[in-house]
Amino acid sequence: MVKLDFNLKVNMIEAFTDGACRNNPGPGGWGVLLCQDGKESKLCGGELDTTNNRMELLATIMALESLPPASQVCLTTDSKYVQQGITEWINNWIRRGWKTADKKTIKNVDLWKRLHAINQKHQVNWKWVKGHSGHRENEIADKLARQGLNSCLKKNNKIADNITKYEIKDDSNMRQVVLDTETTGIDPTDGHRIIEIGCVEIIERRITSKRYHKYIKPNHKVDEEAVKVHGLTNEFLSDKPQFFEIVDEFMDFIQGSELIIHNASFDVGFINHELKLLKQGWKPVKQYCKILDTLALARKHHPGQKNNLDALCKRYNIDNSNRKLHGALLDSEILAELYLIMTGGQVSLLGTSKSDGATNSIQRISKDRKPLTVIQPSEEELQSHVNYLKILNKASGNSNKFNIW
């Protein structure tokens, strides 16, 4: 897909939209052709269980949501349902509380509300053209809609294949992915969306160089309190891809791995919400990945204490001085080190105190280093050690977690 650098001062943006549906209801697709100053940009997508009218509506929504605020748009559709609905019928629907004259909720009310909201943000001239009449741009939009439908069906088959594949995958050498997200707000059920995803790969307890990082345009206002946390504004996100544009590459990166997430219910809840909104047949994340919550792990190790990332960094001497604001990739890199330290044994071999200013980091050591001198304990020292382990086991409820070897 070619991205247009829309210049509001040059020419009006022309948008041509179309929808398609097989069997109606059934699998469907939407297509968008955007034109400005001789340049063209194409968008398409689809859903597994939909109608032709919903795809016609969604095509116009996706067209307008992809544009900068306050754009001047000439939008052409071959759907009288959409063109008359947005220009003639909608005011009466709103006056009646989104109901028809006989007091029934209008069909596709969720999409009509969404279209009305984005329509208010632009100056739109709505036009109708007869479909399949040889109109070049409409024919392109129709082709894109059918392409979106077919891609959705292919993706659904791929999703089903992957579920089978990863459910029987051997876990002995499972690839791990440390993941974090930033969002427009706290609760996805209030319409909040993901605006940043950051992932770090771990293989055989080694952090690799592979990363996945994307900023995402949410089509939802970022809460002021959220901006104070991560610093990401709607203006900054306005030219970033939408979730439907990055979902394939994102899911390819995480599928089959064990996800390492701090407060996993938050991030997984948002990802599942985004996948559900696509209506492309995606299952919940747990169908594709194992999930380990490091917050639950930290609470188990340190009950009654603060266990957010900053507190854990301080406790384990991890350098997080660059963390002025939350960021998905930076937080994933920090969490990767924390996870390896929390699950890898001793933090400081020599019991370094905080006042030393020493910080933990994952370091590679040379295989040609001099061998360490091993000092064997005396019988008296060994017995003292055994006695102390008995005290620890008793204090932990006779859990027998502390053994001599």
Report, as residue numbers or ranges, the catalytic residues.
Answer: 326
What whole-number distance in Å separates Cα of residue 294 and Cα of residue 316? Answer: 14
How many CB atoms sit inside 10 A of residue 241's CB? Answer: 17
Residue pair 16/76 in contact by the 8 Å Cβ criterion: yes
Nearest to 253 by CA among 309, 360, 178: 178
State the residue for tokens 């089509």.
219
The structure tokens listed for 80 are: 């009288």
Rg of the chain taking only CA atoms, in angstroms: 27
What whole-number distance in Å separates Cα of residue 253 and Cα of residue 74? Answer: 38
**φ, ψ for residue 198 (rounded to 5)?**
-130, 135
Host H or E run for residue 29: strand 26-36
The structure tokens listed for 340 are: 């390896």
- 258-261 and 290-293 as β-strands: parallel, antiparallel, unpaired? parallel
State the residue for tokens 């609760």.
187
What whole-number distance in Å separates Cα of residue 186 and Cα of residue 338? Answer: 24
> How do the residues of the chain divide into helix, strand and coil, expressed in percent and rounded to 5?
40, 20, 40
* 47 DSSP β-pair partners: 28
Give the amino acid at 49. D
Residue pair 147/96 in contact by the 8 Å Cβ criterion: no
What whole-number distance in Å separates Cα of residue 170 and Cα of residue 259? Answer: 16
DSSP code at position 92? H
In total, the chain counts a number of residues equal to 405
**φ, ψ for residue 168 (rounded to 5)?**
-105, 10
What whole-number distance in Å separates Cα of residue 349 and Cα of residue 362? Answer: 14
Q: Spell out the residues 6+ positions from residue 44 whose beta carbon is closer than 8 angstroms to its own.
A: 29, 30, 31, 32, 144, 145, 147, 148, 151
Give the amino acid at 97. G
